[in-house]
Amino acid sequence: MKILVCMKQVPQKDAPLKLNEAGTWIREDVSYEVNEPDAYALEEALRQKEKHTGEVVVVTAGPARAQQVLREALAKGADRAIHLEGDGFVGLDAYNTARAIAAAIKDETFDLIFTGLQSDDYGYAQTGVILAEILGWPHATIIMHIEKNEGGIRVKRELEAGFFQFVDVPLPAVLTIQSGINKLRYATLIGIKQAKSKPLRKVAMAEVQSAVGSNLQKIEKLYVPQKSKNTEFLEGSPAEVAKKLVERLKNEVRVI
């Protein structure tokens, strides 16, 4: 099976984020990491390849720093990488990101495309499904298990409130992968070494520009949410804080 995994670099989970002066985006001088659901998508692709043979290709769209995500994926076992490289990719909406990726892979043939179910920055949860629509492929979202069957694959979808559903999907198809579908592996030293000589194709914005239009949704303003509650901050040493909190649990919340 030939599988493409779409991966994104996002600010680290506990990185302190600050707004830019225009209040339209964050300041970019933060630490980045791979978007967590994408790491699970990569792991699943590697496992499918180990089971059925084939090839795992990883793709990302973002500035030069995003190459780190691809290098890590290659070190974990991906065969090659595609980097849609440029600052311009950061501000694309989900539709244009999908269009750009579709343009970059137009000469390739994949059986499956995986994405994480959503990104930790925009949180659109749309790029995978849109990519499927652009390619004319079927899709299934929030996947917790994949196995091959006669006509294609059988996947396990997660629904709300603890419900699940198996769905038979013909190939080629796009799947969005849920965190926790598998156990992530670490890159080995040999893997890290080998990654350096694995092919990484760079695609400039100019090469996919004709596929990309103006964004259909625009962030007018980004800001810190207004607090809806009167929060009481308890301060002091751990012992003092504990005392204050228990006093409130007793007299105000009344659970002790």
Residues of span 118-147 touching other proteins by CB under 8 A: 120-126, 129-130, 132-134, 138-142
SS3 252: coil
CB nearer other proteins, residue 103 or residue 200: 103
Query: Residues 85, 88, 94, 97: is their CA dihedral positive or negative?
Result: negative
CB nearer other proteins, residue 180 or residue 199: 180
Contacts of 122 (CB under 8 A, 6+ apart): 94
CB of 135 to other proteins, least distance (A): 11
CB of 231 to other proteins, least distance (A): 5
Say whether residue 104 binds other proteins (CB under 8 A).
no
CB nearer other proteins, residue 38 or residue 93: 93
Among 52, 64, 91, 180, binds other proteins (CB under 8 A): 180
Of the candidates 77, 153, 75, 160, the one whose C-alpha atom is nearest the C-alpha of residue 113 is: 153
Say whether residue 242 binds other proteins (CB under 8 A).
yes
CB nearer other proteins, residue 67 or residue 215: 215
Among 64, 147, 164, 193, binds other proteins (CB under 8 A): 164
Among 65, 108, 166, 207, binds other proteins (CB under 8 A): 166
CB of 203 to other proteins, least distance (A): 22
CB 115 within 8 A of CB 143: no
What is the footprint of other proteins within residues 53-82 (CB under 8 A)? none
Say whether residue 43 binds other proteins (CB under 8 A).
no
Tokens of 27: 């300041």
CB of 122 to other proteins, least distance (A): 6
What is the footprint of other proteins within residues 202-221 (CB under 8 A)? 214-221
CB burial readout 80-117, b (16+ within 10 A) else e: bbbbbbbebbeebbbbbbbbbbbbbbeeeebbbbbbbb
Cα 154 from Cα 156, distance rounded (Å): 7
Q: Is the peptide bond before 170 cis (omega within 30 degrees of 0)?
A: no
